[in-house]
Chains A and B, each alone.
Chain A
């Protein structure tokens, strides 16, 4: 009897750990099968798989940040408009001038810092539900942005376009950047005090407070990281599109998609469980799904239907075994 109790959580833990990899394997298998079936074997080279990964750099960077927000039992719906704002800010400050690259990056990160801080303060000090707080923030950012610009503004000098277009052979700098960012996030989550505090606060806020953790600070910290990542995604998109436009973030649906890949990666919305590698698996799964649809020539509308079902199915894959009540 005691044995049973002891092993149960362990089993569940293992499932959680391997489920993202399992989903990833299924997606990869589907990709290979479709490529073989449609006779497009030229898509099965290593170069091509790397280019599949390169499809979702912006989503990946955003999702790294969103993982922090969700792990701490919060959520961030303001990332999409922040991405737009940052891309415009960067491109306007740079304005084609290589000397302004560093100031522009600094300004972008500062904007991310401020937005994350304000989000965190509204959620912890005013005790506004994070969904509403960040939705409101999203409307405010988008409104301020659209008041000033309605089209592509400024331009990014070639020196900065290297971020999106340069690379070692077929391995782009931006992909390496995403990988490094993921490693850094993993390190923070697994090997720092702040990381373990995030899991503690996300798992049970009251218990964490009793244990002496300053829960508000942890939540604010997670939101700052989340917004910083969104700011970096905005920098990447400015570099990739060579200019910033006020619709970049909302067109890419980075808010809902980043949440979707995080939960597909096994991080639970209630917080406290999950991790960065799951999110990375989620991002790759999303890229693969995109590529599979392109290979199979699925039309855009059917794609949408399938995407909606896949998101729910993937989350159900983790959640159906849980005993908790959800709403």
Chain B
């Protein structure tokens, strides 16, 4: 587990001076938004933006683990739904329940990730199908558990993470708790992916599972861990989304594709081997910035869909061309 597991050490060096284009795109979008709507430069403007983008950013960072390991996780949206619906049932309006409910949700999330990983590794079901099955199943479970309609309320304590702004601060005036959560979890995910052996092994198995196997990487265990990280990030995103806006039975719908889009915008390579946590977070912010901009321009929902489709294809196409030029 020394140099062998570092995939292409020389390539890393060559990449260092390059800056991921997603950061430029994000900066340009933010400038455009501020020009369109100067109120965005006020603390309430950009803090609200970060608060709303935080769940997707965490979700994208978690999804990145599975993408870099060479798979997909389509079950994250349904995990979000399950977390929101399940928490509202379990907490039963009791403020004291908050901590154990959150702990239970993380345990459920870890279980979901574990099952995803086991099905992929040992039943050899491709992750696309395995997590698609999990998505359908969990949506059904959330509905069965609740009877098709939310069954309780989320307590104010539970909603603290997604809803509350810390106010009366100097300089920035308000600071959403969601942003603090994003910074803490974002840094943790960054550290795990780019500063630990686990992160290197995830890159290795995504790059070339056979080679990684021969080099002594416990491929199955690493892959399972990647799925668990993704599910846990979905639990965190669910807690924040439920906090921001309250209970409903379709909160998570569509988030799986948004998370993959965000990771891809951040330059992650599908089918594995390459990706960066900060860039995935920037990808999520970019996606939200695009929506905000289209909103300020007064463009209706269908146009937003078209734009999302175009940037998705363009982002991957551009990344492929760049990769060709940089020698791979």
Q: Which of A's residues lie within 8 Å of B, judged by CB?
A: 122, 126-129, 131-133, 135-140, 142-147, 256, 259-260, 263, 269-270, 300-309, 311-312, 315-316, 319-320, 322, 324-327
Which residue in chain B gives the minimum CB-CB distance to A77?
A: B257
- Pair B70/A305 contact, Cβ less than 8 Å: no
Q: Answer yes or no: B160 CB below 8 A from chain A CBs.
A: no
- The 10 listed contacts between A and B (C-beta, < 8 Å) are A131-B270, A133-B313, A145-B302, A147-B303, A256-B132, A302-B144, A307-B140, A311-B129, A315-B129, A327-B205
Using CB atoms and an 8 Å cutoff, list the residues of chain B in contact with chain A.
69-72, 119-120, 122-130, 132-141, 143-144, 148, 205-206, 209-210, 213, 219, 223, 257, 264, 270-272, 300-310, 312-313, 316-317, 320
Q: Knowing that A142-B302, A312-B123 touch, tell me 4 more A-B residue pairs with CB under 8 angstroms.
A: A259-B132, A260-B132, A325-B210, A327-B209
Residue pair B305, A132 in contact (C-beta under 8 Å): no
| Inter-chain contacts of B320 with A (CB < 8 A) | 126-128
Contact of B305 among A131, A140, A307, A326 (CB under 8 A): A140
Known contacts A127-B317, A129-B316, A326-B120; is-contact A309 B305 (Cβ 8 Å):
no
Q: How far is the CA of A305 from the CA of B264 in the complex (A)?
A: 30
Question: How distant is B132 from chain A, measured CB to nearest CB, in Å?
Answer: 6
What chain A residues lie within 8 Å of B272 (beta carbons)? 327
Given A136-B313, A140-B309: A324 touches B124 (CB 8 Å cut-off): yes
Complex Cα spacing A256 to B205, Å: 27
| B136 and A308 form a contact (CB under 8 A) | yes
Residue of B nearest to A306 (CB): B140
Docked-complex contact A136 and B312, CB < 8 angstroms: yes
B140 nearest CB neighbor, chain A only: A304
Decide: A320 near B140, CB < 8 A? Known: A132-B264, A140-B305, A146-B302.
no
Residues of A within 8 A of B132 (CB): 256, 259-260, 308, 311
B143 neighbours in A (Cβ, 8 Å): 300-301, 304
Q: How far is the CB of A142 from chain B (nearest CB, A)?
A: 6
**With a CB–CB cut-off of 8 A, which chain A residues contact B205?**
327
For B140, the chain A residues whose CB sits under 8 A away are 301-308
Interface of B is mostly: helix
Distance of A260 from chain B, by nearest CB (Å): 7
Inter-chain CA distance A319–B128, complex, in Å, is 13
CA distance A7 to B158 in the complex (A): 61
Q: Given the complex, which residues of B lie within 8 Å of A325, measured CB to CB?
A: 209-210, 213, 219
Known: A144-B302, A260-B132. A327 touches B127 (CB 8 A): yes
Q: Which of A139, A256, A324 is the one whose CB lies under 8 Å from B312?
A: A139
Say whether, besides A138-B309, A301-B140, A327-B70, A132 and B270 are in contact (CB < 8 Å). Answer: yes
Q: Is B219 in contact with A320, judged by CB distance below 8 angstroms?
A: no
Task: Tell me which residues across on chain A come within 8 A of B209, comparing CB atoms.
Answer: 325, 327
Chain A residue, CB-CB nearest to B210: A325
Minimal beta-carbon separation of A13 from chain B (angstroms): 18
Name the B residues within 8 Å of A306 (CB-CB).
Answer: 140
A5 to B257 Cα, complex, angstroms = 43
Question: Which of A133, A270, A301, A309 meets B148, CB within 8 Å?
Answer: A301
Known contacts A129-B270, A312-B125, A325-B210; A139 and B306 CB within 8 A of each other: yes
Residue of B134, B143, B223, B305 with most chain A CB atoms under a 10 A cut-off: B305
Contact A136 to B270, CB < 8 A, known contacts A304-B136, A311-B133: no
- The CA of A282 and the CA of B304, in the complex, are separated in Å by 36
Question: How far is A74 from B228 in the complex, measured between Cα atoms in Å?
Answer: 27
Docked complex Cα distance between A259 and B72 (Å): 15
Bound complex: CA A320 to CA B205 (Å): 20
Nearest Cβ on chain B to A128's Cβ, whole angstroms: 5
Question: Most chain-A Cβ atoms within 10 A of its Cβ — which of B134, B144, B223, B313?
Answer: B313
Nearest residue (CB) in A for B319 is A128
Q: Which residue on chain B has the smallest CB distance to residue A150?
A: B302
Partner of B316, one of A128, A138, A270: A128
* A303-B140, A316-B123 given; A132·B129 CB < 8 A: no
Partner of A126, one of B125, B144, B219, B313: B313
- Shortest Cβ distance from A131 into B: residue: B270
Instruction: Give bound CA distance, A324 to B302, whole Å.
Output: 42
Question: Out of B128, B302, B306, B317, which one reaches A269, CB within 8 Å?
Answer: B128
**Min distance, Cβ B32 to any Cβ of chain A, angstroms:** 21
B143 to nearest A CB, angstroms? 4
Nearest-Cβ distance from residue B36 to partner chain A, whole angstroms? 22
Q: How far is the CB of A278 from chain B (nearest CB, A)?
A: 15
Residues of B within 8 A of A315 (CB): 125-126, 129-130, 133
